[in-house]
A = this chain, B = another copy of it.
């Protein structure tokens, strides 16, 4: 269990909050971790099988394959804690929008403006998504400290992107009067 694939961490993490079907695991990851994590079914189901085979999770109804929920076992919790304490750095960045912006000389200022507008837009819609989430969990009981932190991370990043895009757009229009 050396480096890389963190899928099982996300899955175990999800199951650490309660029993779920594979489908629900995916929904939980998409809903709750959605702004900084992603898993597809093609990853989740094999991972569930592997974790089950290794005894880190078990089915509520051992025989049935459809509709039975998975729950984390003691050794699963142990594995989760061990994995969480291992250091992990994000993989090398690859932002195709910045790549396009960098070489925007090839296309001219109109294309650059369009790109920036698009990035601005996506930051803004991210922000309003976060606002919705915040409205929901602020009403719930606290103890969600860490969840609030990851959410505010998203907000900060989106805000910074918005400001950056605006500054760039301003620069571009002031240049080409």
Q: Which of B36, B96, B104 contacts A95 (CB 8 A)?
A: B36
Chain copies in the assembly?
A: 2
Contact A94 to B150, CB < 8 A, known contacts A84-B107, A103-B80, A103-B84: no
> Which residues of chain A from 22 to 56 have a CB within 8 Å of any chain B CB?
33, 35-38
Stretch at the interface among A8-16, A57-65, A128-136: A8-16
> In this complex, what residue of B is CB-closest to A4?
B96
Q: Nearest Cβ in chain B — how far from A115, in angstroms?
A: 9
Q: How many residues of A are in contact with the other chain, CB < 8 A?
A: 59
Supply 28 A–B pairs (Cβ within 8 Å), ascending by A.
Answer: A9-B103, A13-B99, A13-B102, A35-B93, A36-B95, A36-B99, A37-B93, A37-B99, A38-B92, A38-B94, A84-B103, A85-B107, A85-B111, A89-B96, A89-B122, A90-B94, A90-B95, A98-B150, A101-B146, A102-B146, A105-B146, A145-B172, A149-B168, A152-B168, A156-B160, A156-B161, A157-B160, A159-B160
